[in-house]
Amino acid sequence: MKAGWPLLGAALLLPPFLPISDYTLHIIILVLLWAFVYTSWTIMGRFGLVSLGHGAFLGLGTYVTALLWNHYGLTPWAGIPLGVVVAVAVALVIGYPCSRLKVVGHYFALVTLALTEVVRLSIVAWRDVTGGSLGMTPNAVPPESIVALQFTKFTWYWVALGVWALGLVVWHRVDRSMTRSAMDAIADDETAAAAVGINVTLQKLLVTTVSAALTAFGGALIGQYQMYINPDTMAGVGVSLQIVFAAISGGMYVILGPTVGAILTIVLQEFLRVLFGTRCIGAAATIYGIMLIVFIIFMPAGICGVIVARMRKRRAVAAAAPAAG
Amino acid sequence: MLQVDGLTKAFGGFVAVNQVSFAVAPAEILGLIGPNGSGKSTIFNLVSGTLSPTAGSIRFEGQEIAGRPASEIVHRGLARTFQIPRPFRKLPILENVAVAAYFGRNGRIDRGTAVERARAALALVGLPGDPDARTDGLGAAGLKKLELARALATQPRLLLADESLGGLDHGEMQQAAEMLRRVRGEMGITIVWVEHIMGVLMKVVDRVMVLHHGETVAEGLPADVVRDPRVIEVYLGRGHAGA
Ligand SMILES: Nc1ncnc2c1ncn2[C@@H]1O[C@H](COP(=O)(O)OP(=O)(O)OP(=O)(O)O)[C@@H](O)[C@H]1O
Ligand SMILES: [Mg+2]
C-alpha cells in the first residue's frame, strides 16, 4: 500500500497525454472536482455532523463568484474568496446556535436541509439578477484566461488534480489532528468531552468552517469549469443528497472514500443521462435516496471502508500464519 | 482554594441542592457523604460547570466560576470524575486520556507531550494492558480507573472524585483509597471525595460534610461526625437518634 501512493500519483499525471476522447477527459475532471467537494463534506460528516446543507455552501460559492464576475467584472480570484467568506459566515450563523442549543442528529440534518432550500429558493426568486431556475452562464472570454479563470480542458485537468490533492491533504491533516480525537469524543458524549476541557462549540465550528469553506471553493470551480450554473444542480436538496450519498457510499472514514463515491455518482449520472436523456431529471435524486438507504443499512462504512477492513483482516491472517506454522 | 456560598439548584419545582456552603483548603481531602439522592453529584455538576446553579456563588482560587462553561473550569485547574463512567467509546484507552491531557491544558502542549502524560496517568491509576485497545473490554473497576486517569491527565489542582466504589471488591476499594491518598500526598492535589462506603472514606479524609435532602446536616472531623446524632438520624432513621 505504501508503494501504491507514488504509483497512483504517477498514473494521475498521464490522462491529458493519453489518446482519450474529450468526453472522457471531461468526466475525469468532473470526478476530481466533485471528489474534492465530497472530501470536504466528510471533514464534518464523519463526526456525526450529517449536514444536508452543503448544497447551500456549494451554491453560495458558485453564485457569488459568477454574479460578481458578470455584474461587476470582478475576477474570480477575488470572487471565490468572497464566496468562501459568505459561505463560512452562513455556516457560522447556523452552526453556532446549533451547537449551543445541542441540535444534533436528525434535528441537525433537518436544520441544514432547510438552509440548503432557503439558498436555492433565494436564487430562484432573485430571477432578475441570477437568471432564476434557468441558471446562468459566466460571461465568457477567449480560453486560457488566468484573470477570468477560464481554461481549456487540458489546463482544467491540472487545476482539478491540484484541488483534489489539496482536499486529500486537508482531510489527512484533520485525520491526524487532536481535533479529530476531540470530535470523536464529542460525538460520543458532549458532557464528558467538555469535562476534560474540550470546548465543544469551538471544535464543532472549526470543522464546520473548514468543510463549508472548501465546499464553497469547490462549487465556485465547478461553475467556472462548466461555465453554466443552475440552482437545482448547484444548490438545494438534490445536490445535498448527492453529496451525502457519494461520501457515505465511498466511505467517510477512508481518505479515498469520497473519491470512489465521486466515480460512482458521476458514472451513474452519465449513465442515467444517456439512458433517459433529459426526460427524467428527477430520477437521479430518487435513485440517490434509495441507494443511500441501502448503503446505510448494509454497508455503513462504504465501499472503501469494506475494502480497508478486508485488507486489514488478510494482513492479520498473513501475520499470524507463519507463527502458527 | 474552593469557596462555595449559598449554592442552590432547582430542577423545576424540586430543589436538589439548597443553600449549601462550604470551603476546601489547599491539599485537603474533604469527604462528601449522604444518602442516595441527597445532592452530592449535583454539587459536583454545579462546581464543575456541567450544570448552572439556580443561585449561589462558587469561587475557585478567588475567582467566581459559577455558571462558567465546563471546559473553561477545567482549564483553570478543576477536574471531576463521573459517578457512572462516561468513556469515549470511539477512542482507544490511551487516546481517551490523551485528549484530556491535551485539551485539559487548552491545547498549550503538543500531541507528543499529551500522549506521554496520558501514559503516566494510566500508570498512576494502575490501568495495565493494551493502551490501544477500545474501552469496551474494561470492567467496572477499569472504567473507574479510566475516569480518574482522564481527570488527573488534565493536571488539576482540585479534583472532584465521584467514586462510588460500590461494585468493586474489597481489594479494589483499598487500592482506590490508597490511590487518592497518593494523589494528594505526592502530587499535592486537593480532593473532594464523594463515597457511600464510609469505612473506606473515613480512613482517608481530613474532614467530612454530610448532606441530606440537598442541605448540609453536619460538618467536621470524621470521628466527630460519625457520633453526631443528626447524622445517625439521617442514616438510620428517626428512632435511633440519641439512642
Ligand atoms: N438533571 C436532573 N434533572 C432532574 N432531577 C435531577 C437531575 N439530576 C439530579 N436530579 C435529582 O436530584 C436529586 C439529587 O441527585 P444527586 O445525583 O445529586 O444525588 P446523589 O447524592 O449523588 O445520590 P447518589 O448517592 O445516589 O449518587 C435526586 O433526587 C435526583 O433525582
Ligand atoms: Mg451521585
| Separate counts of helices (H) and strands (E) for chain A | 15, 0
Both B112 and B136 in a single domain?
yes
- Pocket-testing residue among B8, B11, B209, ligand 1, by greatest number of atoms within 8 A of Cβ: B11
pLDDT in tens, chain A (325 residues): 566 888 888 888 888 888 889 999 999 999 999 999 999 999 999 999 999 999 999 999 999 999 999 999 999 999 999 999 999 999 999 999 999 999 988 899 999 999 999 999 999 999 999 999 899 999 988 878 888 889 988 999 999 999 999 999 999 999 999 999 999 999 999 999 999 999 999 999 999 999 999 999 999 999 999 999 999 989 989 899 999 999 999 999 999 999 999 999 998 888 888 887 766 666 777 888 888 889 888 888 999 999 999 999 888 888 777 654 4
From A181, A188, A194, residue closest to B71, measured CB to CB: A194
The CATH number of the domain where B216 resides is what? 3.40.50.300
Q: How many CB atoms lie within 10 A of CB A134?
A: 11
Could you tell me if residue B28 is inside a domain?
yes
**N-terminal to C-terminal alpha carbon distance within chain A:** 26
Q: Whose CA is nearest to atom 17 of ligand 1?
A: B41
Could you tell me if residue A174 is inside a domain?
yes
Query: Which residues, judged by CB distance below 6 Å to any ligand atom, belong to the binding site of ligand 1?
Result: B 11, 16, 34, 36-42, 83
- Pocket-testing residue among B7, B20, B40, B209, ligand 1, by greatest number of atoms within 8 A of Cβ: B40
- Which range of residues forms the domain containing residue A148? 22-235
CB A288 within 8 A of CB A245: yes
CB contact under 8 A, A191 and B99: no
DSSP 3-state of B160: strand
Q: Which residues of A touch B103 (CB under 8 A)?
A: 178, 182, 196-199
Q: What is the B239 CA–ligand 1 centroid distance (Å)?
A: 26
* Count: domains in chain A: 1
CB contact under 8 A, B70 and A195: yes
Both B69 and B164 in a single domain?
yes
Both B164 and B69 in a single domain?
yes
Q: Which residues of B touch A198 (CB under 8 A)?
A: 71, 99, 103
Tell me, what amino acid is at A156? W
DSSP 3-state of B210: strand
Tell me, what amino acid is at A62? T
* Torsions phi, psi for A140 (to 5 deg): -85, 145
What's the angle, vertex CA A298, arms to CA A296 and CA A299, rounded to 5? 70
Q: What is the A319 CA–ligand 2 centroid distance (Å)?
A: 47
**In 3D, which of B157, B232, B152, B230 has the Cα closest to residue B198?**
B232
- Which range of residues forms the domain containing residue B125? 92-151
The ipTM value here is: 0.92
- Model confidence pLDDT, tens digit, residues B13-63: 999 999 999 999 999 999 999 999 999 999 999 999 999 999 999 999 999
Could you tell me if residue A265 is inside a domain?
no
CB contact under 8 A, A192 and B82: yes
What span, in angstroms and rounded, lies between the C-alpha atoms of A310 and A120?
A: 41
- E-strand ranges in B95-223 read 158-162, 190-194, 207-212, 215-220
Q: What is the pLDDT of residue B240?
A: 52
- Closest-approaching ligand to the CA atom of B9: 1
What span, in angstroms and rounded, lies between the C-alpha atoms of B121 and B116?
A: 9
Q: What is the B82 CA–ligand 2 centroid distance (Å)?
A: 9
Mean pLDDT to the nearest integer, B59-75: 96
- Model confidence pLDDT, tens digit, residues B177-229: 888 999 999 899 999 999 888 888 888 999 999 999 999 999 999 888 888 88
Put simply, whether A205 touches B (Cβ < 8 Å) is no
Could you tell me if residue B2 is inside a domain?
no
- Angle at which helices A200-226 and A153-175 pack, to 10 degrees? 170
CB contact under 8 A, A194 and B49: yes
User: How far apart are the CA of A253 and the nearest CA of chain B, in angstroms?
Assistant: 13
DSSP 3-state of B39: coil
Put simply, whether A160 touches B (Cβ < 8 Å) is no
Both B193 and B142 in a single domain?
no
* Interface A-B: count of C-beta contacts within 8 A: 78
Both B118 and B234 in a single domain?
no
Could you tell me if residue B3 is inside a domain?
no
Residues whose CB is less than 8 angstroms from the CB of residue B231 and which lie 6 or more positions away in sequence, other chains included: B210, B217, B218, B225
User: How far apart are the CA of B67 and the nearest CA of chain A, in angstroms?
Assistant: 14
Could you tell me if residue B84 is inside a domain?
no
Could you tell me if residue B17 is inside a domain?
no
CB contact under 8 A, B103 and A198: yes
What span, in angstroms and rounded, lies between the C-alpha atoms of A192 and A200?
A: 10
How far is residue A52 CA from its own chain's centroid? Answer: 12
Cell of A307: 475494502
- Angle at which helices A22-45 and A54-72 pack, to 10 degrees? 120
Test mutation, A174, A176, A181, chain B, max B CBs within 10 A: A181
Could you tell me if residue B13 is inside a domain?
no
Partnered with residue B30 across adjacent β-strands are: B192, B207
Put simply, whether B49 touches A (Cβ < 8 Å) is yes
User: How far apart are the CA of A173 and the nearest CA of chain B, in angstroms?
Assistant: 13
CB contact under 8 A, B104 and A196: yes
Q: Is residue A130 classed exposed, middle or buried when 0-12, 13-18 and 19+ CB atoms within 10 A define those classes?
A: buried
Put simply, whether A181 touches B (Cβ < 8 Å) is yes
Both B123 and B167 in a single domain?
no
Could you tell me if residue B193 is inside a domain?
yes
Both B108 and B136 in a single domain?
yes
What span, in angstroms and rounded, lies between the C-alpha atoms of B150 and B142?
A: 12
Q: Is residue A61 classed exposed, middle or buried when 0-12, 13-18 and 19+ CB atoms within 10 A define those classes?
A: buried
Q: What is the pLDDT of residue B233?
A: 84
Both B165 and B142 in a single domain?
no
Q: Whose CA is nearest to atom 9 of ligand 1?
A: B42
CB B209 within 8 A of CB B222: no
Put simply, whether B74 touches A (Cβ < 8 Å) is yes
What span, in angstroms and rounded, lies between the C-alpha atoms of A139 and A148?
A: 9
Put simply, whether A195 touches B (Cβ < 8 Å) is yes
Both B161 and B240 in a single domain?
yes
**In 3D, which of B215, B241, B216, B243 has the Cα closest to residue B230?**
B241
Tell me, what amino acid is at B234? V
Residue with cell 483534489: A164
CB contact under 8 A, B103 and A196: yes
Put simply, whether B201 touches A (Cβ < 8 Å) is no
> What letters, b where the CB count within 10 A reaches 16 and e where it falls short, cover A299-316?
eebbbbbebbeeeeeeee
Tell me, what amino acid is at A219? G
**In 3D, which of A64, A87, A59 has the Cα closest to residue A74?**
A64
Size of chain A in residues: 325
Both B161 and B48 in a single domain?
yes
Could you tell me if residue A116 is inside a domain?
yes
Q: How many CB atoms lie within 10 A of CB B188?
A: 10
Mean pLDDT to the nearest integer, B150-160: 96
- Please report which helix (H) or strand (E) contains residue B23, including its range: strand B14-24
Partnered with residue A136 across adjacent β-strands are: A229
CB contact under 8 A, B82 and A181: no
Could you tell me if residue B240 is inside a domain?
yes
Residue with cell 458514472: A267
Could you tell me if residue A240 is inside a domain?
no
| Separate counts of helices (H) and strands (E) for chain B | 9, 10
Both B163 and B233 in a single domain?
yes
* Torsions phi, psi for A322 (to 5 deg): -65, -35
Domain end position, chosen among B105, B132, B151: B151
CB B101 within 8 A of CB B151: no
Q: How much is the mean pLDDT over chain B?
A: 91
Both B171 and B224 in a single domain?
yes
Q: Which residues of A touch B72 (CB under 8 A)?
A: 199
Q: Is residue A31 classed exposed, middle or buried when 0-12, 13-18 and 19+ CB atoms within 10 A define those classes?
A: buried
CB contact under 8 A, A194 and B79: no
In this structure, the strands spanning B190-194 and B158-162 are parallel
CA distances from B119 to A38, B83, B93 (A): 37, 23, 10
CA distances from B5 to A261, B23, B45, B209 (A): 58, 9, 15, 14
Q: What is the pLDDT of residue B241?
A: 46
* In the predicted structure, residue B155 carries a pLDDT above the cut 60: yes
pTM of the model: 0.91
- Model confidence pLDDT, tens digit, residues B91-127: 999 999 999 999 998 878 999 999 999 999 999 998 8
* Count: domains in chain B: 2
CB A284 within 8 A of CB A269: yes
Q: Is A28 left (phi over 0), alpha (psi -120 to 50) or beta?
A: alpha
Q: What is the B235 CA–ligand 2 centroid distance (Å)?
A: 16
